[in-house]
Amino acid sequence: MTDYARYPSLADVPVVISGGASGIGEALVRNFAAQGARVGFVDIQAEAGARLAAELTASGQTVAFSACDIRDIAAYQAAIAGLAERHGDALVLVNNAAHDDRHDWADVTPDYWDERMATNLKHGFFAMQAVAPGMIRAGRGSIINMGSISWMIMVPRLPIYETAKAAMHGLTRSMASDLGQHGIRVNTLVPGWVMTERQLSEWVDDRAAALIAQSQALPGRLYPDDIARMALFLAAQDSAMITAQQFLVDAGWANS
């Protein structure tokens, strides 16, 4: 069995994760909790989120869940405030929530555009706005924005999602500049094609498997834990002088 790193600097650190009930988000919650962090997470999937929080709490880990639609900014910021009351002001934020609905550019309406941007980009800024004052008071913090290789490799039928994910790194760069003077780091974590339950059930067929094998420099498949382990590094003090960067965990597929 492979032994992975433990980060003493994450022990008892308050962490907020969006979209934490399934997929990559669930792996983030599990991995941060296993490091001894005080993990608060939100998700629109109320039952799955409550079930995950109950499981981890029963095992002795410090985890709290708040059912929340991150498109409702007031509700989301209130949820973050509620998690701060339980665990203390967040010193790590992972802007993970997103949804890669396929769509045809010719069918996009203004309302659909706005809803997709709210799902994939807007909430990230307002989560930063909510946690930054506490990080400023502490004089430190790490914000991790989740990107995607989809826009780098030009996946079809995803124009709004790819626009949002490309913009996420612009947001990273801007906020790294604004918050750096307070000791707050902001980076982008860019997953490749990760074998989540949703991806396996909806998209990964024989043709997709062949594309993955052809396109990745490394053999094998990416799993949510592979992404979570990079997030742990970026959250820990081991990466204390790293900011405004994007880190691809894609087995060598995309050229950033």
The residues annotated as belonging to the active site are 161
Neighbours of 105 (CB within 10 A): 10
Q: Look up residue 253 and give its two tokens.
A: 């597929």
What's the rounded Cα separation, in Å, for the pair 180 and 173? 10
**Burial of 137 from C-beta contacts in 10 A (0-12 / 13-18 / 19+):** exposed
* Alpha helix (H) residue ranges in the chain: 23-34, 46-58, 73-87, 110-117, 123-138, 159-179, 197-202, 206-215, 224-235
Paired with 67 in beta bridges are 43
Q: Look up residue 3 and give its two tokens.
A: 């032994």
**Mapping DSSP to helix (H, G, I), strand (E, B) and coil, where does residue 236 land?**
coil
What one-character-per-residue DSSP string does 87-112 give?
A: H-S-SEEEE---------GGG--HHH
Nearest to 251 by CA among 212, 201, 224: 212
- Cα–Cα distances (Å) from 246 to 118, 144, 198, 219, in that order, read 22, 10, 25, 23
Q: Look up residue 200 and give its two tokens.
A: 């396996």
